[in-house]
Amino acid sequence: MNAIISASELASELTGENPPVLLDVRWQLTLAKAAGEPPFDGRTAYEAGHIPGAVYIDLDRELAGAPGARGRHPLPDLAEFGAAMRRAGVSSGVPVVVYDGGQGWGAARAWWLLRWTGHPDVRVLDGGLPVWEGPLETSVPTPAEGDFEPAPGATGLLDADGAAALARSGVLLDARAGERYRGEVEPIDPVGGHIPGALSAPTNENVGPDGRFLPAEELGARFKALGASEGTEVGVYCGSGVSAAHEVLALAVAGIPAALYVGSWSEWSSDPSRPVAVGPDPQ
Active site residues: 238
Q: Where are the alpha helices (DSSP H) in 88-148?
A: 105-116
CA angle 105, 108, 113 (to 5 degrees): 130
CA angle 59, 63, 65 (to 5 degrees): 105
Q: In b/e form, how buried is each residue of 73-88, taking b as 16+ CB within 10 angstroms? A: bbbbeeeebbebbbeb
Residue 97, classed as helix, strand or coil, is: strand
Measure the CA–CA gap between 106 and 143, rounded to whole angstroms.
21
Measure the CA–CA gap between 220 and 213, rounded to whole angstroms.
12
CA dihedral angle for residue 64, residue 69, residue 72, residue 76, rounded to 10 degrees: 0
Measure the CA–CA gap between 66 and 55, rounded to whole angstroms.
22
Residue 251, classed as helix, strand or coil, is: helix
Residue 91: count other Cβ atoms within 10 Å of its Cβ: 18
| 124 class by beta-carbon count within 10 Å (0-12 exposed, 13-18 middle, 19+ buried) | buried
